[in-house]
Amino acid sequence: MSSRYEGRRVIVTGAGSGIGQGVALRLLAEGAQLVAADVNEAGLAATVDAAPAAQRERLRTLTIDIADQESVRAVTAEALEFLGGLDVLVNAAGILRAAHTHEMPLEDWNKVISVNLTGTFLMIRSALPALIESGRGVIVNFSSTSAFGSNPYMAAYSASKAGVNALTHSIALEYVKKGL
């Protein structure tokens, strides 16, 4: 395996399962010092179990609710302490609640938007100072083809992922001159 992330300090959200877990394990395998963050403690334990023992000293897991700004602040602070700075933020955390739009409870709509879109914003806002300070900061935000094409029963998910796309473009334009 290459070591192209050797010395890179990384936070991956959604690292307790699925694509986020796969990204975390791959970056770890390629030399990153990594904080794997997720709301699911059992999933984070599975991420640790999936990592080779020799790589685990470069891995820390932290439980986070990315839709809660206090949780994001606390976890970012703890991650920065462990990592000694930050070079890469990967926002892979996300949820889906499918329903007929006219039957979707407002609580489900708000939960999808708060995790997928607001959580991405909160992570970016919290990590930006450290990413800029690194001089080589990178943000990777996960979206979906649902942001571009319509899918039945997925109005909240599609709207949240379209918002992630717009947020990503805005952040890129706003911070490009700061090396992000």
Which residues are the active-site residues?
Answer: 157
| Burial degree of 150 (CB within 10 A; 0-12, 13-18, 19+) | exposed
Q: Tell me, what DSSP letter sits at residue 139?
A: E
Spatial distance between the Cα atoms of 20 and 26, rounded to a whole number of angstroms: 10
Spatial distance between the Cα atoms of 28 and 5, rounded to a whole number of angstroms: 8
Asked if 34 and 87 count as a contact pair (C-beta separation under 8 A), the reply is no
Residue with tokens 């000694």: 84
Q: In the sheet where 88-91 sits, what is the strand order?
A: 59-63, 33-38, 9-13, 88-91, 138-141
Asked if 90 and 140 count as a contact pair (C-beta separation under 8 A), the reply is yes
* Angular region, 31: left φ>0, alpha ψ -120 to 50, beta rest: left
